[in-house]
Amino acid sequence: MTYFFDTTNKTANYLGYNFTFSPNGTIAVVSGNATFSGQWNAYVDDNEDTLEIAFSASQLENLSDDWEIIEYSETQIRMKDVSGGNGETDFLTLTKN
């Protein structure tokens, strides 16, 4: 993860976290000796490319959301999410190692 903004820049909270997205819809996240798992699904919603991410681990709960894909390439994906409750916009960028 190279950028995460949720009200403030929270990228530092996830330094050293490595995300591996598998074709079967699972995500493995490794940080030091800790390993977490989650699910992902990509789809089109209202003509917007969307990446839905879901984690049960409390360390990653802020990342669980339906992210609108803003831009992507072979090495990076930039996303945003407009919160339903307060209308704030969160941003998430994942970059391939």
Say what the pTM is.
0.90
Given a cut of 80, whether residue 38 has pLDDT beyond it is yes
Mean pLDDT of 40-64: 95
Res. 87 pLDDT band, cuts 50 70 90: confident
Phi then psi for 87, rounded to 5 degrees?
Answer: 75, 5
Mean pLDDT of 31-42: 96
In sequence order, what are the beta bridge partners of 53? 40, 65
Q: Look at residue 26 in the predicted model and tell me its pLDDT.
A: 98
Phi then psi for 57, rounded to 5 degrees?
Answer: -70, 135
The string of pLDDT tens digits covering residues 61-86 is: 999 999 999 999 999 999 999 876 77
